Amino acid sequence: MFDVITVGTATQDVFLRLVHGKANCFVEGSKNEVEKPIFTTGGGAVNAAVTFSRQGLKTGILCRIGDDDYGGALWKELEKENISFWKLKDQDLGTGYATVLLSASGERTILSYRGASENLQNKEIPFSELKSKWLYIVPSRIDILTMEKLVEHCHYQGITIAMNPSKFYLEKGAKNLKPFLDKIKVLIVNKEEASALTGFTEKRDVFKKLDELIKGIAIMTDGHNGVWVSNGKKLYQAEVFKEKIIADRTGAGDAFGSGFVAGLLLKEDIEYAIRLGSANATSVVEHVGAHTGTLRKYEFENESRWKNLEVKTHEL
């Protein structure tokens, strides 16, 4: 029995920082010098799985790779992080890959090959082996019908489901997402995504609609402005921990969402979950790589900088 299984994409990433100039300014045909490349893994399912595993939770991952060297390296990285997996290989499509060009401010330009990572199919999902307390979904562009069947199965089995939907999913609209939303315990979206899903911009209107859609906890992140969380009874508001440095913003959203859910798994306390999610996201942006800076349990519990984060509550 797993504490949590993550579902979504897995990629091999290389991070490059230009010696001179901006990451999004190139002259066609030119040569551009970069600093020493940083090779790591990424993808929403991987980033989230690393969070859960480093928090001491028994973690599995359901993701697809290509039958290539990149995929083999990815499996080895998951083993190193003590994450269990099913070897779902695509003989035609390669392992997902991304080149991330970093600017001095930590903003990034991403060149991505989606490959096998978004080609998950019903026939290869090991439904009978998905024994877990929680399912954490970061679907990217995985087929919606495939994800509906997975959600329906896990909901029927009594597995608690959290989801951080992609733009691809949210563009379908709340009506078409009803098969998901009815079965989700935790929904994580950013401010723009929340407005697109609900049709509102004011926070209280947004959460009034989210609380109608979700029978659980709705989370809206707002970058440097912090996060808002509703459990249908109270609205929680918190700012963010101050970064020492912003090295790379890649993976910050995954870090918060998975950190929040890990907090619920560990304490069943929303304020604790907000603090863990915020600390995890802050630590991640201080390092290059989508999960390089992901906090380990002892780091979060023992480092003084993560002890205090004011969380305000408002009646709905």
In tens, the pLDDT along 12-22 reads: 999 888 776 55
Q: Which two tokens stand for residue 121?
A: 């199919």
In this prediction, residue 159 carries a pLDDT of 97
The domain 2-24+33-315 is classified under which CATH number: 3.40.1190.20, 3.30.470.20, 3.40.50.12280, 3.30.450.40?
3.40.1190.20
- CB of 188 closer than 8 Å to CB of 221: yes
Q: Which two tokens stand for residue 25?
A: 């300014």
Angular region, 144: left φ>0, alpha ψ -120 to 50, beta rest: alpha
| pTM beyond cutoff 0.75 | yes
Residue 300 pLDDT grade (very low, low, confident, very high; cuts 50, 70, 90)? very high
**Cβ neighbours of residue 308 under 8 Å, at least 6 residues apart?**
none
Angular region, 29: left φ>0, alpha ψ -120 to 50, beta rest: left
The single-letter code of the amino acid at 53 is S
Residue 278 has pLDDT above 60, yes or no: yes
How many other C-beta atoms are found inside a 10 Å radius of the C-beta of residue 303?
A: 12
Which residues, in sequence order, are bridge partners of residue 230?
A: 218, 235
In this prediction, residue 134 carries a pLDDT of 98
Residue 24 has pLDDT above 60, yes or no: no
Residue 27 pLDDT grade (very low, low, confident, very high; cuts 50, 70, 90)? low
CA distance 34 to 99: 12
Q: What share of the chain is helix, strand, coil (3-state, %, to 5)?
A: 40, 25, 35
Domain boundaries, the chain: 2-24+33-315
CA distance 135 to 155: 9
In this prediction, residue 175 carries a pLDDT of 86
Torsions phi, psi of 9, nearest 5?
-95, 155
- The residue among 177 and 275 whose pLDDT is bigger is 275
How distant, in Å, are the alpha carbons of 9, 139, 196, 199, 233 from that of 193? 20, 15, 5, 10, 22
Range in 50-59, 171-180, 260-269, 288-297 with the lowest mean pLDDT: 171-180
Q: Is the dihedral of CA 11, 180, 278, 300 positive or negative?
A: negative
In this prediction, residue 250 carries a pLDDT of 86
Range in 102-116, 170-184, 225-239 with the lowest mean pLDDT: 102-116
**Cβ neighbours of residue 123 under 8 Å, at least 6 residues apart?**
none
CA distance 153 to 180: 12
Give the residue from 290, 295, 287 showing the smallest Cα distance to 77: 290
In tens, the pLDDT along 67-93 reads: 999 889 999 999 999 999 998 998 899
Query: Average pLDDT over the chain, rounded to whole?
Result: 91
Residue 53 has pLDDT above 80, yes or no: yes
